[in-house]
C-alpha cells in the first residue's frame, strides 16, 4: 500500500488555533515565542494547540484566556494554513477576534506588542505566519 506525503503529514499534523486581535488604533497583537520552544524567539499571533475532544472555538477561547487573560466573545475565520517545517507539520486555523472582554496582558511572561500593519515586516515570524501577515497588510 502506497501513502502519499499529504496522508503521512496529516497523521503528525499539529492543529493550532490562532487569534488575531486588533486594538482601537488598528494595531495587531503579537507575542514572542519562548527561546527554548520550536521556532523560539520568533514573533507570532497568540494561540495554541487544539486539544483532543476540543472544538476550535473552545481551543481559541482557552488559549487566549490562558495566554492573555481575555475572553473571546466573537470571532470569524480568516485563514487556514498548512505548513511543513520538516520536523513538524502544522495546521494553523487563524481567526480574527472581533470582540473580546478584558485587557490583554502577558500571563506567560512572554514579550507582547501591539504593532501597526505597516510595521509587521519589521518582526521575524515563523514561516507558516507569512500568509497571515500578508492578509493583514491587505486589510
Cα separation, 2 vs 76, in Å, equals 38
pTM above 0.75, yes or no: yes
Q: Decide yes or no: CATH 3.20.20.70 for domain 21-137.
A: no
The residues, any chain, with a CB within 8 Å of residue 83's CB and separated by 6 or more, are: 89, 90, 92, 127, 128
User: What is the mean predicted confidence (pLDDT) over 27-47?
Assistant: 89
Q: For residue 102, how many C-alpha atoms fall within 13 Å in the half-sphere facing its CB?
A: 17
- Quote the pLDDT of residue 97: 98
pLDDT tens string 52-95: 999 999 999 999 999 999 999 999 999 999 999 988 999 999 99
Residue 13 three-state SS: strand
Confidence check: pLDDT of 10 > 50: no
Q: Round the CA-based radius of gyration of the chain to a whole number and report it.
A: 15
Cα separation, 65 vs 50, in Å, equals 14
Cα separation, 34 vs 106, in Å, equals 12
Domain boundaries, the chain: 21-137
Amino acid at each position: 500500500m502506497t501513502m502519499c506525503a499529504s496522508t503521512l503529514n496529516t497523521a503528525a499534523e499539529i492543529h493550532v488555533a490562532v487569534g488575531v486581535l486588533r486594538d482601537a488604533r488598528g494595531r495587531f497583537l503579537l507575542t514572542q515565542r519562548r527561546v527554548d520552544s520550536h521556532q523560539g524567539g520568533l514573533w507570532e499571533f497568540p494561540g495554541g494547540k487544539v486539544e483532543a475532544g476540543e472544538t476550535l472555538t473552545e481551543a481559541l477561547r482557552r488559549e487566549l484566556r490562558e495566554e492573555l487573560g481575555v475572553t473571546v466573545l466573537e470571532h470569524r475565520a480568516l485563514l487556514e494554513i498548512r505548513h511543513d517545517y520538516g520536523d513538524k507539520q502544522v495546521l494553523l486555523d487563524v481567526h480574527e477576534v472581533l470582540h473580546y472582554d478584558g485587557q490583554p496582558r502577558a500571563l506567560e511572561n512572554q514579550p507582547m506588542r501591539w504593532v501597526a500593519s505597516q510595521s509587521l515586516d519589521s518582526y521575524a515570524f515563523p514561516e507558516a505566519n507569512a500568509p497571515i501577515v500578508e492578509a493583514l497588510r491587505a486589510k
